[in-house]
Amino acid sequence: MGSENSALIALSELKNLEAERRAREEAERRAREEAERRAREEEERRRREEEERKRREEEERKRREQAEREAKEREERLRLQEAEARARAEQEARLREEQMRLDAQVKMAQKKARPKWPYAVIGLLAVGLGVGGYIAKKKSDEAAEQARLAEEERKRQQAALEEQRAAIEALRKEMAELDKERQKLEAEQAALREKLAAAESEEERQKLLAEQAALDEKIKKNRRRRSSAKKKSAAAEKSVEAPPVRKGRKDKLSVDGDLDDPLSGL
């Protein structure tokens, strides 16, 4: 009776030990799974943060470029306005001086004999002033047209540059996807080699060899695509250059002819 009780107790202890072992193994398994899950979540979080950082940097770069373009456009408009204003002011000042000089000559002539020729000179002066004003307006319009054409060319080059950058970004994404695919295929290839090593029958081995051949073909195709994308990306990055910004002329506008001589343009 006593030996039976001892056997039962020993059996119970063995069952308890086995249960504890299984519980411990289950806890360890769950801990490993939890650690792997956390590692995956951490990797995903880092990837999202990196993508978000790149997106913010790209947006900030575009905002800076837009602000620089707008500042240059404002500077160009102000420069043209200032040049036109200076040209008009200089022209008006010369015209006033010339008018004052002619008025003084007319008054002196009137004091002497009041001849008829000063009136003809005044008429010719009016015609000369009109021609001078037309020439100044024409020069101003030509400068504004040149500035407009330069701005259109700059915008066209900037649009082409943005398209090239977008193409480069697309190629980079394609290369990243191809790298992921390559890693996956290499992992499948390694697993397939292990299966081949453990194959027990010729039929199974031939089947695995067929799978390996198909997998090798996928890997070769992936390498060709990656090589092509890499070459395209390198060529695109080499060709990307910032569109040149054409600087406007800094010299002030002038009117053809000598405004000191009101009849020089006739």
Residue 107 three-state SS? helix
> Which of these, 176, 149, 185, lies nearest to 76 by C-alpha position?
149
Question: Which residues lie below 8 Å from residue 86, measured CB to CB, with a gap of 6+?
Answer: 252, 253
Secondary element (H or E) of residue 26: helix 2-112
> Which of these, 94, 76, 73, lies nearest to 136 by C-alpha position?
94
pTM value is: 0.33
101: pLDDT strictly greater than 50: yes
What is the reported pLDDT for 164?
A: 76
C-alpha span between 206 and 204 (Å, rounded):
6
Is 219 in contact with 187 (CB distance < 8 Å)?
Answer: no
Mean pLDDT of 41-64: 92
User: Greater confidence, 75 or 230?
Assistant: 75
> At which residue do the structure tokens 């800094």 appear?
250
What is the reported pLDDT for 49?
A: 93
95: pLDDT strictly greater than 80: yes
Q: Residue 218: is it exposed, middle or buried by C-beta count within 10 angstroms (0-12/13-18/19+)?
A: middle
Per residue in 148-176, is it b (16+ CB within 10 Å) or e — as a string?
eebbeebeebbeebeeebeebeebeebbe
- 113-143 residue pLDDT tens: 555 555 565 666 666 667 767 787 788 888 8
> At which residue do the structure tokens 């001589």 appear?
261
> Which of these, 149, 175, 156, 180, lies nearest to 233 by C-alpha position?
175
241: pLDDT strictly greater than 90: no
What is the reported pLDDT for 251?
A: 43
Helix/strand/coil (H, E, C) string of 149-213?
HHHHHHHHHHHHHHHHHHHHHHHHHHHHHHHHHHHHHHHHHHHHHHHHHCCCCHHHHHHHHHHHH
What is the reported pLDDT for 262?
A: 38
What is the reported pLDDT for 235?
A: 79
What is the reported pLDDT for 114?
A: 56
Which span out of 50-59, 137-146, 246-255 was modeled with the highest average pLDDT? 50-59
pLDDT grade for 52, boundaries at 50, 70 and 90: very high
What is the reported pLDDT for 17?
A: 87
